[in-house]
Amino acid sequence: MTQAKRQSRKLGWRFVFLLITVIFVFLALVRNVWVDVYYIPSGSMEPLLLTGDRVLVSRTEFASRPIERGDVVVFDGRGSFTPLNSGAGPVADAVTGVGQWLGLVPNNNIYVKRVLGVAGDTVKCCSADGLLEINGVPVTEGYVHPGDLPSELKFEVTVPEGKLWLMGDHRSVSLDSRSLLGAPGGGLISTSKVIGSPVATVWPLGRIHAIDNGRRALP
């Protein structure tokens, strides 16, 4: 009788382990193919996204259409916004990676910004009226953080094929393409680095809502 109980308990643990494995594989598939969750570590996209928000990101948003001006995109900043190697070591990187995958800690290599220029666009700041210009046309950006200027840094950039010019909505605190003008690549991000687009805030509970990224606000 004791042997039967031990055998039953052993089979029970195997079933639990198998179930957990299946769940993790399923979640990994979902998060790598369809949707993922990312932590917002800063206020660079306020008021659209707040520090501490967890956002649901669609990985398929740009599978059926090109990235357009005004789109809010989540992208891998390694090699542009951040160095290719963290230098923390393989063990620390692995532990951090698990926490990032579970959404418990921010991924410092992942950024969210708004697309202000796609291939062929000339983006300039600022016009005589103090507005951002895209292809010579001044644009009114209703999504910019209240009280912020379109940009305190003057610039004029023409976006080459396969690249994007990105800026945060909270212009006065955002690390974005403007901050990398003197770096290799000139602040331009490859379209291949785009992971997807945030479609909803899922945490905290009081901020659960669909995200209107304001894409229609730009010509």
Q: Mean pLDDT, to the nearest integer, of 12-20?
A: 68
pLDDT bucket at 96, cuts 50 / 70 / 90: very low
Return the pLDDT at 79: 81
How confident is the prediction for the chain on average, in pLDDT? 82
Per the listing, tokens 């063990």 go with: 91
Task: Name which residue leads in pLDDT, 195 or 7.
Answer: 195
Return the pLDDT at 56: 93
Classify residue 168 by its DSSP letter.
-
Return the pLDDT at 78: 84
Write the secondary structure of 82-145 as one string of H (helix), E (strand) and C (coil): ECCCCCCCHHHHHHHHHHHHCCCCCCCCEEEEEEEECCCCEEEECCCCCCEEECCEEECCCCCC
Return the pLDDT at 183: 83
Return the pLDDT at 36: 87
Q: In 3D, which of 45, 78, 72, 35 has the Cα closest to residue 185? A: 78
Given a cut of 70, whether residue 100 has pLDDT beyond it is no
Model confidence over 166-199: pLDDT tens digits? 999 999 999 999 998 888 788 899 999 999 999 9
pLDDT bucket at 93, cuts 50 / 70 / 90: very low
Task: Name which residue leads in pLDDT, 16 or 83.
Answer: 16
Return the pLDDT at 206: 93
Model confidence over 120-158: pLDDT tens digits? 999 999 988 899 999 999 999 999 999 999 999 999 999
Instruction: Give the CA-trace dihedral at 150, 176, 106, 18, to 10 degrees.
Output: 110
Return the pLDDT at 202: 93
Return the pLDDT at 218: 73
> Percentage of the chain with pLDDT > 90?
54
